[in-house]
Amino acid sequence: MQWVGVPQLAAAVSNAGGLDALRVAIRATRKLTDKPFGVNITILPSINPPDYAGYARAAVEEGVRVFETAGSNPGKLVNYLKENGCTVIHKCTTIRHAKSASRHGVDMLSIDGFECAGHPGEDDIGGLVLLARAAQELDIPYIASGGIADGRGLAAVLALGAAGANMGTRFMCTVESPIHQNIKEQIVRSTELDTVHIFRTLNNTARVYANKVAKEVVSIERRPGGAKFEDVRELVAGARGRLVYEEGDVDRGIWSAGISVGLIHDIPTCDALLSRIEREAEDVISKLDAIVVKMGPRSKL
């Protein structure tokens, strides 16, 4: 949700009963909603790492009490946040990392399957199995991420043991989302075949929209002898990706999208979308309940 989870989208989601926000918009978001919202801190390897501790401290001082961490080991941040009465959700793509985060004291996990936008890890395990494994292995609640865009998906992950669902790509395509209308309409036109993985050969896999730039990156990675990051640096520059959302040119740069684009067929308000997802999930769950055969005592032959 880079460049997308800005105040108007975060506030709209919170007002409708959901949860999402970017750390840089705390005060602006609070002006738009009196409902709870969270801050994400993604810890990534970097030559000049940001002041992650400073971000956490500023958010706590602003009264934020819900945090999502992701990326590298969140141990130090978790300790600080828990000392300040915060609820911490950590995003993982493997069971081993989920268990490690649990030992660090996080309250909840977000389990990302291979279908997700952005970085799905390198194990290539889809949500169907990954979530079921989470049910077997974890002793704290978890929510599901990746490939979920409607009530049917929500009902499915609840059946797999999740306490809820994250939906990133779906909320990109809402009225309140700040991205250019051209990009929203492109998502509506897309199918589940319209994403691609880049950085596979660099062991930093990322699922993005399969536009001209992404396909060029993949082509470079497939050259004999492989590729170095320097070979694709200019193509994948974050500034170019931001211009996609601002200017509406689908091919201007790299932009994240999950395979759930194939499930998105309209551009509703956040309120209408969440209400619909709830109705759909309830309908699916009630139909499943209706097919349960209630057996009496087995008769002896």
In DSSP terms, 67 is beta-bridged to 39, 88
What angle, 0 to 180 degrees and rounded to 10, lies between the N-to-C axes of helices 270-290 and 151-159?
Answer: 50
Whole-number pLDDT of residue 18: 38
The model's pTM: 0.83
Whole-number pLDDT of residue 19: 34
Provide the greatest CA pair distance for the chain.
75
- CA of residue 257 relative to chain centroid, distance: 10
CA distances from 263 to 110, 172, 194, 219, 271 (A): 21, 13, 12, 28, 18
Closest CA to 171 of 24, 13, 22: 13
Whole-number pLDDT of residue 58: 85
Encode 64-76: b = buried (16+ Cβ within 10 Å), e = exposed: bebbbbbeeebee
| CATH architecture of the domain with range 7-179+267-275 | Alpha-Beta Barrel (3.20)
Taking only the tens place, the pLDDT of each residue in 135-177 is: 999 999 999 999 999 999 999 999 999 999 999 999 999 999 9
Question: Would you give the end-to-end CA distance of the chain in angstroms?
Answer: 61
What are the residue boundaries of the structural domains of the chain, listed by start?
Answer: 7-179+267-275, 195-247
* CA 82 – CA 63 distance, rounded (Å): 14
Asked if 101 contacts 109 with a C-beta cutoff of 8 angstroms, the reply is yes
Whole-number pLDDT of residue 111: 96
Q: Which strands form 39-43's sheet, in the order they lie side by side?
A: 39-43, 66-71, 87-92, 108-112, 142-145, 165-166
Question: HSE-up of 208 (CA within 13 Å, CB side)?
Answer: 27
Whole-number pLDDT of residue 96: 94
Length of the chain: 301
Q: Is the dihedral of CA 184, 177, 72, 86 positive or negative?
A: negative
Q: Is the dihedral of CA 235, 246, 275, 165 positive or negative?
A: positive
* CA 224 – CA 218 distance, rounded (Å): 12
Q: What is the pLDDT along the chain (301 residues), one digit of tens a residue?
A: 555 555 566 556 555 553 343 445 777 888 888 888 888 888 876 656 777 888 888 889 889 999 999 888 888 889 999 999 999 999 999 999 999 999 989 999 999 999 999 999 999 999 999 999 999 999 999 999 999 999 999 999 999 999 999 999 999 999 999 999 999 999 999 999 999 999 999 999 999 999 999 999 999 999 998 899 999 999 999 889 999 999 999 999 999 999 999 999 999 999 999 999 999 999 999 998 888 766 556 655 5
